[in-house]
Amino acid sequence: MSGTRDYSYEELRWLQHVREVAELLRRAAEQGNADAQFYLGWCYHEGRGVAEDERQAVEWFRKAAEQGHADAQHNLGWCCLNGVGIAKNERQAVEWFRKAAEQGHAWAQYNLGWCCLNGVGIAKDERQAVEWFRKAAEQGDADAQFYLGWCYHDGRGVAKDEQRAADWYRKAAEQGHAGAQNNLASLCPRSRSIGEDEQRAAEWFRKAAEQGRAEAQYNLGLCYENGRGVARDQQQAVEWFRKAAEQGDADAQYKLGLCYENGRGVAKDAQQAVEWYRKAAEQGNAAAQYNLALCYHEGRGVAKDEQQAVEWCGKAAELGNAMAQYSLGCSYLNGDGIARDEQQAVEWFRDAAEHGFADVQYNLGLCYEHGRVVAKDEQQAVKWYHKAAEQGNAWAQCSLGWCYSNGVGVAQDEQQAVKWYHKAAEQGDAWAQYNLGVCYQSGLGVAKDEQQAVKWYRKAAEQGNAWAQYNLGVCYEHGVGVPKDEQQAVKWYHKAAEQGHARAQYNLGSCYEDGFGVAKDEQQAVKWYHKAAEQGNTNAQNNLGVCYQSGQGVAKDEQQAVKWYRKAAEQGHASAQFNLGVCYQSGQGVAKDEQQAVKWYRKAAEQGHIAASQALRYFFGDH
């Protein structure tokens, strides 16, 4: 007949034998034989010799169970627990498991332990769970050994003890329990006392992985990726990540996404990266949600979509991903893909900071220090700088040093300032290196040491810090902590000046004017005086005025001279005040005005300018 299966002679003989056995079991069962009732129930459960019939299985299990048959009691409990052949009834399941467990039935002891652990059909009781797991484990039940190991590992119902956890995991692992093999391997790198090394750990991961345990496949992938217990092999890592990912392991899906994004062990493929990030993200993997948000934000492997970016970033942020919380804060702050909301921005920044994200803690400190988005609060600034600094964030260490140095949000303490500058400086933070140089040069919070000052100025200067370049130039000009060297002074002034450092521009102008460390060049002098003067440097403004007045390096222009003298004079520069007075007295570049001349002479004289005092005596006799 169409659709029927043709059986071989041997198969037909076997089927006939099974049916005969089932019939014999039925006769014995109907006469009240408990073993026969149990086995007949098993035949109905498996469809051996009779048509599969779970209700009949339950009936025969019950008959045997009521006679005290432990295997039947366990099986009846299992049927009640899972609603197989009978309405699901967890309390009844526990009752039957207990009857069998008290007779020493290992599977029943394990299942009763599981019910106690999870509060299924009975009040949750982790201590009772451990006791039942132990009874079953001591009989060699691998599942019970695994769970007992887990209880010891997590301190559930028993004092936490990694050694005992490893012992029970090992017993189960040696019986081929994949979960135990994985967990035993996971303990190896953390504890030498369990007697397993990284190579052995990789072997246990492999055993579990080859049984299809997704978590172990992921972990074996990590071993290959990091060269732990096996030779580093990114392609092998990808293969194991893929096996786990295809089983739905979210961590592996995220890792596989990273591999595709960065071309590690597989050809770079942004679309594949997005696909795997999405799979992991939809399972609630926060790192994948954040990376998927970045893909939408940057248009990598998917069309750019700021709203989708914010949505996924929000999901990751809600799960506590600090990077996502920070990014979401930035989105609220800038109105990217979402309505601008500074209060929401601060809340997300604070969440990220409280999760220990050092960069955010530093930025939150900046917000409080300068009153950006939040009310200015220097003590809060110091608090967040301190948290980030203690995690090694160099920017925060430098800022904390500055706060201690200047008494901002904390009592002034030069020694603490030096301590934090030093930590940041050793990490290569240029501003900290510069500030540390200042401390050594001035003896602030540390014994004065000009050579150490030069050392730290040089480190910062070589990183392009303009202030350090300027100070290093000053050291070379005056022989402070280093042999005097005019050419080196000019070199460092030039570097700082090109970055717009006004004092360096003025000093460089002076070098060109005087031929100090460089060929004399009055036009170059004017050029650099002009740059510094435009930034408000009073010395440069005064000197530029002199150049215009005398036609030195530039066409003579008395009005321009007055302009620059005035700028410097109004900032309190004594020589410029005197020079402006001369212009008013003589009518150079400005209408002659003796009252204005006296005014400016007096301002200069009050600062101790000798020529101004003499000029005043010209007007008043004895000043």
Tokens describing residue 555: 């066409």
Q: Contact, 79 vs 58, CB < 8 A?
A: yes
By CB neighbour count within 10 A (0-12 exposed, 13-18 middle, 19+ buried), where does 303 fall?
exposed
| Residue ranges of the chain whose pLDDT lies below 50 | 1-5, 7, 15, 191, 193-195, 623
User: In the prediction, which pLDDT does 2 show?
Assistant: 34
User: In the prediction, which pLDDT does 13 show?
Assistant: 62
Question: Residue 87 CB: number of other CB atoms within 10 A?
Answer: 7
User: In the prediction, which pLDDT does 6 show?
Assistant: 57
By CB neighbour count within 10 A (0-12 exposed, 13-18 middle, 19+ buried), where does 244 fall?
buried
H helix or E strand, kind and range, residue 529:
helix 522-534
User: In the prediction, which pLDDT does 190 show?
Assistant: 56
Rounded-to-integer distance, Cα 21 and Cα 18, Å: 5
Query: Positive or negative, the Cα torsion across 27, 28, 31, 36?
Result: negative
Question: Residue 366 CB: number of other CB atoms within 10 A?
Answer: 15
Query: Mind listing the pLDDT tens digit for each residue in 58-77?
Result: 999 999 999 999 999 999 99
Q: Contact, 400 vs 419, CB < 8 A?
A: no
Tokens describing residue 507: 């000093």
Query: Mind listing the pLDDT tens digit for each residue in 388-412?
Result: 999 999 999 999 999 999 999 999 9
By CB neighbour count within 10 A (0-12 exposed, 13-18 middle, 19+ buried), where does 127 fall?
exposed
User: In the prediction, which pLDDT does 196 show?
Assistant: 58
User: In the prediction, which pLDDT does 135 show?
Assistant: 98
Please state the separation of Cα 96 from the chain's center in Å. Answer: 51
Question: Residue 225 CB: number of other CB atoms within 10 A?
Answer: 22
Report how far apart, in Å, the C-alpha atoms of 116 and of each of 68, 125, 194 are: 22, 5, 28
Q: DSSP assignment, residue 536? A: T
Query: Mind listing the pLDDT tens digit for each residue in 115-134?
Result: 999 999 999 999 999 999 99
User: In the prediction, which pLDDT does 336 show?
Assistant: 87
